[in-house]
Amino acid sequence: MPGSNLTRVEAEERKAIVEAPIHYHISLDLTTGAKTFESSTLICFNAQPGSSTFLDLIADEVTSVELNGESLDPAKVFADSRVMLHDLKTKNEVTVKARCRYSNTGEGLHRSVDPSDGNVYLYSQFEVPDARRVYAVFDQPDLKATFDFKVLAPASWIVTSNMPASSVEDDPRETQDGTLGDKPNETTRLWVFEPTPVMSSYLTAICAGPYAEWHTEYLNEDGRTVPMAQYCRQSLAEAFAKDVDYLFDITKKGFAFYAKTWGVPYPYAKFDQIYVPEYNAGAMENIGMVTIRDSYVFESKVTDALAERRVVTVLHELAHMWFGDYVTMKWWNDLWLNESFAEFTSTLATAEATEWHDAWATFCSGEKSWALRQDQLPTTHPIVAPINDLNDTYVNFDGITYAKGASVLKQLVFYVGRERFFEGIHSYLNKHAYSNATLADLLGELEKTSGRDLKAWSAKWLEESGINTIAASVAEAADGTIAELKLTQTAPEEHPVLRPHRLAIGFYNEDKATGKIVRTEQFELDVDGETTIVQAAAGKPRPALILVNDDDLTYTKIRFDAESQAFAEANLHRFDDALARAVTWLAFWDMTRDGEFPAERFVDMTLRLLATETESTTFRYALACMSTTAHHYVAPARREDVLRHVAAGLWKLANAAEAGSDTQFQLITAYLGYGEEGDEAFAANARGLLDGTVSLPGLDIDNNFTWTIVNALASVNEFGDSDIEAQLARRDTTENREFALGARAVKGTAEAKDWAWDQALHNDDLTNSQLEAVARGFSATPDTELAEPFAAKYFETVDWIWANKTYHMAEALLNGLYPGYADPATLTRLGDAWLEEHFAADNALKRLIVENVASSHRTLKVRDYNAAL
C-alpha cells in the first residue's frame, strides 16, 4: 500500500498545512470480538484554509467520516491507509469511525492469549508509525498534540494509558464475545483517562487485560508525589513479585540521577512499567507508561549479563522521558538524539547509581562491539542518517543509531567536559520542553556552555560514515626506555575522514605481589590527523602493554604494537581491570574478523580468558564470538577438530567452575550448543543433565534450562517431535510453546528444515515470537548440507516476503531464515546476483539483503585467510 510508507517530503507538506493546537478524542471498544475492535476518533485542529491533507489509518473498514459537520463517503476518501481531507477551514473537526484489527505481530494493538490460564492481554506498540493501526491520526513526530482516551473493556480487566484514569465506570452491557474477558458474558467498564500533555502520537499507549499489579510512589524533585506501578501477566506474578521492589528501587535511583544530572525533575503525572508478552523490542518509552518485554520477568536462572541488561533497559526507557518524550526529534533523521542519548546516559546511570559498577565494560563488550560490526558493513551510515521515508527509519534502529552514537556521546563528554556538557543538556531540555528539536538545537546549547565550536566536530563525527583505526608503534632507546610512542590514525578507503579524538594511553605491567596485570601509568591527549606523538611517554620505561584508548573514551578500532599484542594475547586472562580486558578483547576480536589474527589463536586465547573472566557481558560475548570463529572463520579442513576442541574445553571449564555461579551457567549453556549427530559423549552428557544422572554442583535444571537441554538433544536428533510435545504438555505456557517450536525447527533433518521453512513463511497463526523461534531454530543447525538447498530458495522468496508481510515480520524472516551455514561462496554468488537484479528495490529491503550477503563475504574472506596460514 503506497500510502503506508510516509515520505519526509509528505510529512513536511502536511506540517505546513496542519497547525496547533491539535487535540484528539479517542474512544476504543475492546469488547466486540477476538479479531477486531471499534475505534472512534474526533480530531480538532487548525489548518491553512482551503488546503487539503490526509490522516493516517490502517483499518479493516472505515464506517464513517465527518469533516466540519459534513458526512463524507468512506469509499471515496479512505484508500491506501489514508483518509483524505479537502477544503479545510482555519478551525476543523473531523470524526473517523473504524473497525481495526488486533495484531499478533507486535505492531499496533497486539492481542496475546496466555495458554497457561486462558487470560487475554493487549498492549500497544506505535513506534515508528503504528498509532494509525488503532486510531486515525497525523502520525508524524512533529505534529504534537494532546490526547483524551476512553476505553471500553471487560470488567475483569484493568486498562492503563499515558495518564492516570479520571474515572472508571461500570457499564451494564455485556461483552459481545465471552472469550474476550476472563468470565463468559461479563459486564464491561468504561475507562476515561486524563488529557495528556502535548506529545507525539507514537508515544501514546494503551494496555488492557487482567494484569497483576504493584504500586508505590516517588517524591519528585519538584515536590510532587509521582505514582508508580508495575504490571505483568498473572501467570508470571509469583516470579515477578520477587523482583518488584528491586525494580522500583532501580527506577527511583534513575529518577534521582537524571534529575540531578540534568537539573530537570521528572515531568509527567505517573510512571508505569508494564511487562508484556511477545514483544518485538526490548522496551518502548511511551510517556508515563513504559512497555517492556516480559522475558525480563525471570522465572528461571538467567545470566548476570541479562540481569544487568534489564537494569540498563529500565534506565534507558526512563531517560527517554526527558530525551525523546519531553523534547522530541522533528523527523526520524534525528532518531539518534533519542536512542544514542538514552543508551549513553543509561549506562552512565547504571555505573554510577546502581551496583553494576562495571557497566562501561558491559557497554564495550556488548554495545560497542555491535557498533563496530554495523559500522564496517556496506550499509554503514552517518549517525545523523538520511531518512527519506518510514522504511528508512525501520532499518536505522541499529548499532550505529544506538551504540556508535552512545560511544560518540561518551567521547563528546570527555571532549567538552562533563559539567559543561550537562549544563548544555539542561538548557536544551528547558528551551525545547514539550516541543520538537534538531541536532542544530542541541549543538547550539552545547557550544554556549562549552565554548567549543562543535560544527566541525559534528561534521566529522555525526555526519560522516565509517570508523577510524588508531595503531601504536614504539621506538626504543638503547637503555630500553621509550624513544618515541607514535599513534597513526587511518580511515577506510570508502570513508576517508580522520577524526579528532580525546583519549587516554594506559601503561600496564605485572604486579609481582598478586600476579595480576595492572595499570601503572596513564596519559590523556588529543589525537588529530594522521600522526600523533605521545610526548609524555618519551623517556619512560617500556611497559609490558601499551593500551591505546584506555578507559574506552573514544570510538575507534585499535591496533597494538607488536610486543604489546604478544603480551596481551598471552596474558589477557590476568588483567585486573574489567574495562581494560573488554577493550583489549574487542581489539583481538576485531582483528580476527578482519582476517588479521589467526582464528585458532583467538579461540585458545578466549578459552584462557573464560577460565578467569568475571564480567558477565564480556563473558557472554566472548563465548558468542568464539562460536562464530569456530563455526565460520577457521580453515574448513580444521573446523571439526576445532569445534571438538572448543566443546571439550567448555565442558572442562564448566565442571571446574564455582558451583551455582554465573560462569558455570554460561559455560554449560554454551557447551550444549556444540553438539554433533553421532557424538555419543555429548548425547550422554545432555541426557544425563536432563534425567539427573549427570550433575554439576549447584546447577539447577529449571524450566528454561530444561528447554536448553531439549534443544541440544533435538539438534543432534536425540529428541523427536513426540518427545518435544510431551515436554510441552508438562507445562504449556507462552514461553514453552516458543521453546517447543524452536526445538522442532532445530532438528538436524531435511524434513525438520522443510517444516520450519513452511511454518515461518505460511503459518499466519504464529505470533511474532513464535515465528522468530521457528526461524532461529531453522538457521541454528551448523550443517552445510542441510542449509545448502535453502540458499537459492531464500533469494527466490525475498520479494514475496517483502510484499506480503509487515515490516517487522519481513525483517524477522529475512534475517532469521538466511541460511548462514550454507557455503559462503554460494551465498555470495546468489546474493550479489539478486542485488544486481534488484537495484531498484526499496532501500530498506536492499539493506537487509546487503547486510546478510556482506556477512557471507566476510566469512569467505576470513576463512580463506585462515586456510592460507
Positions marked active-site: 317
DSSP 697-716: TT----HHHHHHHHHHHHHT
Q: What whole-number distance in Å separates Cα of residue 165 and Cα of residue 269?
A: 11
Half-sphere exposure of 757 (CA within 13 A, CB side): 17
**CA distances for 514 relative to 518, 574, 608, 822, angstroms:** 10, 10, 18, 48
CB 68 within 8 A of CB 37: no
What is the distance between the terminal CA atoms of the chain, rounded to a whole angstrom?
Answer: 53
Q: What whole-number distance in Å separates Cα of residue 458 and Cα of residue 340?
A: 14
Sheet containing 146-154, strands listed edge to edge, beginning at the edge strand earlier in sequence:
70-72, 61-67, 91-101, 36-47, 18-29, 146-154, 187-193, 165-174
Our measurement of the distance from residue 56's CA atom to the centroid of its chain's CA atoms, rounded to an integer in Å, reads 27
CB 423 within 8 A of CB 449: yes
Which 8-state DSSP code applies to residue 364?
A: I
The dihedral over CA atoms of 447, 448, 451, 457, expressed in degrees to the nearest 10, equals 0
- Helix, strand and coil in the chain, % to nearest 5: 45, 20, 30
Strand 225-232 with 271-276, pairing: parallel
DSSP 322-356: TBTTTEEESSGGGHHHHHHHHHHHHHHHHHHHSS-
Q: What whole-number distance in Å separates Cα of residue 400 and Cα of residue 465?
A: 10
How many other C-beta atoms lie within 10 A of the C-beta of residue 783? Answer: 16
**CA distances for 644 relative to 158, 190, 710, 862, angstroms:** 53, 62, 20, 21
Sheet containing 78-79, strands listed edge to edge, beginning at the edge strand earlier in sequence:
53-56, 82-85, 78-79
Answer whether the bond into residue 128 is a cis peptide, omega within 30°: yes
Q: Whose grid coordinates read 502520537?
A: 201
CB 782 within 8 A of CB 819: no
Helix (H, G, I), strand (E, B) or coil at 94: strand
Q: What whole-number distance in Å separates Cα of residue 607 and Cα of residue 670?
A: 12
Helix (H, G, I), strand (E, B) or coil at 227: strand
Cell numbers at 678, concatenated: 553421532
Helix (H, G, I), strand (E, B) or coil at 626: helix
How many other C-beta atoms lie within 10 A of the C-beta of residue 165? Answer: 15
Q: Whose grid coordinates read 525438520?
A: 752
E strands, 246-318, in order? 271-276, 283-284, 289-293
